[in-house]
Amino acid sequence: MPDRPDFWSRRRRAVAAEEARVSEAAPERLAEDPHAGMDDESLLKMLGLPDPETLTPHDAAAFMAREVSGQLRKRAMRALFSRHPGLSLPDGLLDYDDDYTDAAVNMRPPKTVWTSIQKVAEAVMEPESQPEVTDTPDPEIERPAFKEEEPDLPTPRRMAFSFPEDTV
């Protein structure tokens, strides 16, 4: 048998090597991020950002900069969406936003739409003053002296089916 290790042995060694590489890179990442040890208030003062609790939708773009830590960005977004719940509502432009489960049963438009259509129709269809029509007798129409014959219609064709008797 060759001394080649099986798949799981190679996999364990690869995972151990990856963990060692990540643990060696952790201090380097902390050294690269100058704001890693700072608290949120001092970071806000240093970057010139407003307090996340008083955040308005116009100020939110400043918190999306790369210099802002993820924790501070998350805190700002939570405060923004809790103070302005209208930001999380759907805008109505969704293609499948309607409820189609009762489409066969509910074929009429909603009542609000129907009443607005009725109001517009009533405004458009105001009765106009029409001249008064007097009852005049219908003029007599002379009927032809002969009887019109109806054309002979062809007899409808009937289909004839025949089945062999020995079919089982």
Which candidate, 71, 32, 26, places its Cα nearest to that of 52? 71
The helix-helix angle for 70-83 and 40-47 (nearest 10°) equals 90
pTM above 0.75, yes or no: no
**What tens digit of pLDDT does each residue of 22-79 get?**
888 777 665 566 666 677 888 888 888 888 888 888 888 888 888 888 888 899 999 9
Burial label, 76 (beta-carbon count in 10 A; 0-12, 13-18, 19+)? buried
